[in-house]
Amino acid sequence: MRSKVTIQNLHNKVESGQKITMLTGYDYPMGLLEEKAGIDIILCGDSIAMTVLGHESTLNVDMETMIIHAKAVRKGAPTAFLVGDMPYMSYQISKEEAIRNAGRYMAEAGCDAVKLEGGANMAKTVEALVNATIPVMGHLGLTPQSIAQLGGFKSQGRDCSGALKIIEDAKILEEAGISLLLLEAVPPEVAQIITERANIPVIGIGAGPYVHGQLLIVHDALGFFDAFTPKFVKKYLDLNSVILDALGRYKEDVEQGQFPEEEQCYKLKKGELEKIQKELAK
């Protein structure tokens, strides 16, 4: 088994020019597979609200649900760097609630860090979490918990003022103490400027190639979620088709009496059927 992935390992990767790999993971089986594949960072993301729970945005998932899933991922992936995504309204109301909820990710689920969305407006919360010994990953660009303000799932930082705001927010978050930064759906040039100025690992999802590492939502990468597919997704598998084919063959087998066959049946011990029949005949 590889040794535990730490912030220090991630910094070492950046220094030696190796790219950091990150995927979302929501449960034990995917944790196992991502661990086996050697993925560095697993994000138990609030995207679970859409990919697993069938909601239309990431707003509909609470802390209890996230803790259950983060625990399951940790069981499957003991050495990956596990990031617990702070769900909507688990950190915005007060610094105290943010610390309490983030602390649950660390103590109950065994996370290595928590992620929260927002820039300068979250600097004081980041400081409070870091002072409470909780490592934080920042998240800038397209921040899905703000879709009501952003007007939907739209790329960000595509004009000068938008880009400068994200560049400034990145600096403020780093000064506030974040250990890692995630940039979502921003042009590569903007991500490059932020990455070159940063002293922490910068991971991109839809932020081009010049960042220190890449994140994809695992259900997008595997073709297991097709409600919509963002421009930045590369599909490595069409899992929906694979599963649909298997389900169809199962249905056909059952309907045509071809499942179960002898090899899927338990055997009665020798001579026991005769005994049963004798007993029933009495």
Which residues make up the interface to ligand KIV (CB under 6 A)? Answer: 24, 43, 45-47, 58, 85, 144, 182, 184, 205, 217
Beta carbon nearer to ligand KIV, 99 or 205: 205
- How many C-beta atoms lie closer than 10 Å to residue 80's C-beta? 26
- For the chain, give percent helix, strand, coil, nearest 5: 45, 15, 40
Beta carbon nearer to ligand KIV, 118 or 144: 144
- SS3 for 74? helix
Of residues 242, 163, 83, the one with CA closest to residue 183:
163
Min dist. Cβ of residue 172 to ligand KIV (A): 20
- How many C-beta atoms lie closer than 10 Å to residue 268's C-beta? 11
Min dist. Cβ of residue 107 to ligand KIV (A): 21
Q: d(Cα 217, Cα 184) in Å, to the nearest integer?
A: 12
Residue 35 among the catalytic residues: no
Beta carbon nearer to ligand KIV, 43 or 193: 43
- Phi and psi at residue 251, to the nearest 5°: -60, -45
In this structure, the chain runs to a length of: 282
Instruction: Select the residue whose beta carbon is closest to ligand KIV and give its number.
Output: 45
The set of residues, in sequence order, having a beta carbon less than 8 Å from that of 32 and lying 6+ positions away, is 76, 77
Residue 126 · residue 85 · CB < 8 Å: no
Min dist. Cβ of residue 260 to ligand KIV (A): 39
Min dist. Cβ of residue 248 to ligand KIV (A): 30
Beta carbon nearer to ligand KIV, 142 or 176: 142
Choosing from 96, 184, 255, 263, the catalytic residue is 184
Task: Please give the positions annotated as active site.
Answer: 184
